[in-house]
Amino acid sequence: MDGEFVNIPEKLVLNSGFTFDYTNMFGTGRLQESDLLELEAQMRRADAAINEMRASGTAFNHLSKDGTPEPVYFTRLPEIKNGNPNTPVSLQKLKDFGDYLRANVDAVVFLGVGGSYLGNKVLFDIGAGPSWNSMGEKRRSGYPRIYFSGNNLDAGQCEEIMNELRYWSVHAWPKKKRFKVMLVPISKSGSTMETLASFIYFYEACGKSVMFDTEVTAVTDRNPEAGSPLYALAEKHGWRCFDIKNGIGGRFSVLTDPGLVTAAAIGMNVEELLSGAGNMEAACRTQNIYENPALMNAALKYIAAAKYGCHIEVFMGYGERLGSLGQWYVQLLAESLGKRKNRSGETVYYGRTPVPAVGTTDMHAQTQLHQDGIRNKVVQFLQIKNMPGDVVLGMPFDEPAFKKYNGLKMNDALAMALDSNAEALNSDNRFNARYVLPEMNAYHLGELFYFLMLSVAYEGELANVDAFDQPGVEAYKKIMKAKFIGRGN
């Protein structure tokens, strides 16, 4: 970024090594430093609004779906203390839950949709990986096999999981006379159709078989005034129950009980996850708005959309395990910022469209569009500096065409592919930026989760829309509820 304004850094690097490199957001036909300076007053107001949220737990003009004032507590997630969403008692309960599963349970089926599923899947994919369920008990350190359902009304998926549970129950016999399955329905309202449909199916199917010993742990709003049917059921049957706290929307809930139950189930270090989020929170409390990574992320994306027409953000993580992170971000961005009206009640139709992608896979699918298509996209790369795995290719063939692969480290090739993609986009003045995590672990994942959540909160302030409601979702829910109640009539 050449120019007279030297107070804006070219990239931001945290003490942990977390890096936000937005160099390629600037240039010919792209952002100029003057764009940021013109937005400075709005950025300062946004910063002040988030600081007020931290202090009071409220967001300007934010109401619940029934029109009553509702708190916003997600900025309190990183700090473990009494009165916050995460307390010493709640973390000990999670640890005890993980220990219990490790010692007593063979398989866990998490049942949830939206914010009760997407973050959990990220935690599993990064903390456990695709081969987890095929590993032996020793390689899983005694932790159970993990399955996800209730994220769709898909009968085939339910049956496939049930068949796999039957397979493992037979495989475990006669060492284990009964295969223990833990069902974990996750729903704040306790009435989410996808979640309850799958829960009912698995509860009935497991209950009918002499091969299974079934337990239930419910994750729902435990406030009796909320009237969660799932909580009432848990009370009736004496099931273990985790709480979905007031003031934490589903898309912001991954760092609370609804998400952390999955972390506990695979032995992920929950304290490290929250510690990473805390490091990001500290970095974003700087008084220099141009050194606040989440505020800068929000401002750059907001300007790119409002001034340069880049209303699409491609979230492109390099590495197979990062695919579910893109799906989680889709909900976070779309539900938080896709709003018909601003907080003054004016019709604005604000929003940016998130598109998930995986490198290098989607370089062979989407990159043609990114490079040559309409100039309405920001390609946001995510790089893990030290990727797991250490594959070095040999030379099993004599043909000269294969010689270039000899000695190649696969992770080096992945990094070269990302660099090449960014360089190609930059050569045509295409908007792109890069997040870099030193490693793929709980600490840096906590940093990234919190960074992205705080970014959309800041962007909501810049655009003057409520980042914490979802009135558009309620529209289809009302129609579907009527169809469901009236079916067969």
pLDDT at 179 over 60: yes
Opening angle at CA 234, ends 261 and 202, nearest 5: 70
pLDDT at 92 over 90: yes
Q: Is 335 a catalytic residue?
A: yes
pLDDT at 1 over 60: no
Q: Extract the tokens encoding 428.
A: 């045509």
Q: Is 477 a catalytic residue?
A: yes
pLDDT at 463 over 90: yes
Which pLDDT belongs to residue 174? Answer: 73
- Do residues 140 and 243 both lie within one domain? yes
Task: Provide the CATH number for the domain around residue 413.
Answer: 3.40.50.10490
Catalytic residue of the set 335, 447, 459, 461: 335
Q: Extract the tokens encoding 194.
A: 């996808």
Burial 209-247 (b: 16+ CB within 10 A, else e): bebbbbbbbbbbbbeeeeebebbebbeeeebbbbbbbeb
What band does 39 get if pLDDT is binned at 50, 70 and 90? very high
Residue 487 lies in a domain: no
pLDDT at 483 over 90: no
Domain count, the chain: 2
Which pLDDT belongs to residue 474? Answer: 82
Which pLDDT belongs to residue 95? Answer: 98
Residue 489 lies in a domain: no
Tell me the average pLDDT of the chain.
95
Which pLDDT belongs to residue 173? Answer: 75
pLDDT at 4 over 50: no
- Do residues 346 and 372 both lie within one domain? yes
> For residue 5, which phi and psi values (nearest 5 degrees)?
-90, 105
Which pLDDT belongs to residue 489? Answer: 52
- Do residues 340 and 371 both lie within one domain? yes
Q: Are 54 and 46 in contact (CB under 8 A)?
A: no
- Do residues 461 and 342 both lie within one domain? yes
In which domain, by residue range, is 20 found?
Answer: 11-62+274-474
Measured in whole angstroms, the distance separating CA 417 from the mean position of its chain's CA atoms is 25
Q: Extract the tokens encoding 84.
A: 């916050």
Interval 126-165: pLDDT, tens: 999 999 999 999 999 999 999 999 999 999 999 999 999 9
Catalytic residue of the set 171, 307, 403, 477: 477
Residue 352 lies in a domain: yes
- Span 92-106, mean pLDDT? 98
- Do residues 79 and 184 both lie within one domain? yes
pLDDT at 385 over 60: yes
For β-strands 19-21 and 432-439, DSSP reports them as antiparallel
Residue 337 lies in a domain: yes
- Do residues 261 and 410 both lie within one domain? no
Residue 170 lies in a domain: yes
- Do residues 286 and 207 both lie within one domain? no
As a whole number of angstroms, the distance between CA 112 and CA 100 comes to 21
Interval 237-246: pLDDT, tens: 999 999 999 9
381 Cβ neighbours under 8 A, 6+ residues apart: 316, 317, 318, 359, 418, 421, 422, 432, 433, 434, 435
As a whole number of angstroms, the distance between CA 314 and CA 151 comes to 23
As a whole number of angstroms, the distance between CA 59 and CA 237 comes to 38
Domain closes at, from 239, 268, 297: 268
Domain closes at, from 268, 299, 332: 268
- Do residues 56 and 145 both lie within one domain? no
- Do residues 42 and 86 both lie within one domain? no
Residue 450 lies in a domain: yes
- Span 96-107, mean pLDDT? 98
Phi-psi group of 441: left, alpha or beta (phi > 0 → left; psi -120 to 50 → alpha; rest → beta): beta
Question: What is the residue type of 42?
Answer: Q
Residue 176 lies in a domain: yes
- Do residues 16 and 117 both lie within one domain? no
As a whole number of angstroms, the distance between CA 419 and CA 407 comes to 20
Q: Extract the tokens encoding 459.
A: 């962007």
103 Cβ neighbours under 8 A, 6+ residues apart: 142
Which pLDDT belongs to residue 223? Answer: 86
Domain closes at, from 224, 248, 268: 268
Which pLDDT belongs to residue 308? Answer: 98
pLDDT at 226 over 70: yes
Catalytic residue of the set 236, 364, 478, 483: 364
Taking the CB of residue 353, how many other CB atoms lie within 10 A of it?
16
- Do residues 307 and 451 both lie within one domain? yes
Nearest to 445, CA basis, from 223, 215, 208, 277: 277
What band does 230 get if pLDDT is binned at 50, 70 and 90? very high
Interval 256-308: pLDDT, tens: 999 999 999 999 999 999 999 999 999 999 999 999 999 999 999 999 999 99
- Do residues 342 and 447 both lie within one domain? yes
Taking the CB of residue 259, how many other CB atoms lie within 10 A of it?
29
Residue 173 lies in a domain: yes
381 burial via Cβ count (<10 Å: 0-12, 13-18, 19+): buried
Taking the CB of residue 64, how many other CB atoms lie within 10 A of it?
12
- Span 354-365, mean pLDDT? 98
pLDDT at 478 over 90: no
Interval 60-86: pLDDT, tens: 989 888 888 999 999 999 999 999 999
Q: Is 364 a catalytic residue?
A: yes
Task: Give the 3-state secondary structure of the chain.
Answer: CCCCCCCCCCEEECCCCCEEECHHHECCCCECHHHHHHCHHHHHHHHHHHHHHHHHCCCCCCECCCCCECCCCHHHCCCCCCCCCCCHHHHHHHHHHHHHHHHHCCEEEEECCHHHCHHHHHHHHHHCCCCHHHCCCCCCCCCCEEEEECCCCCHHHHHHHHHHHHHHHHHHCCCCCCEEEEEEEECCCCCCHHHHHHHHHHHHHHHCCCCEEEEEEEEECCCHHHCCHHHHHHHHHCCEEEECCCCCCHHHCCCCHHHHHHHHHCCCCHHHHHHHHHHHHHHCCCCCHHHCHHHHHHHHHHHHHHCCCCCEEEEEEECHHHHHHHHHHHHHHHHHHCEEECCCCCEEEECCEEEEEEECHHHHCCHHHHHHCCCCEEEEEEEEEECCCCCECCCCCCCHHHHHHCCCEHHHHHHHHHHHHHHHHHHCCCCEEEEEEEECCHHHHHHHHHHHHHHHHHHHHHHCCCCCCCHHHHHHHHHHHHHHHCCCC
Interval 406-459: pLDDT, tens: 999 999 999 999 999 999 999 999 999 999 999 999 999 999 999 999 999 999
Q: Are 257 and 90 in contact (CB under 8 A)?
A: yes
The pTM assigned to this predicted structure is: 0.95
Q: Are 89 and 159 in contact (CB under 8 A)?
A: no
Share of the chain above pLDDT 70, in %: 98
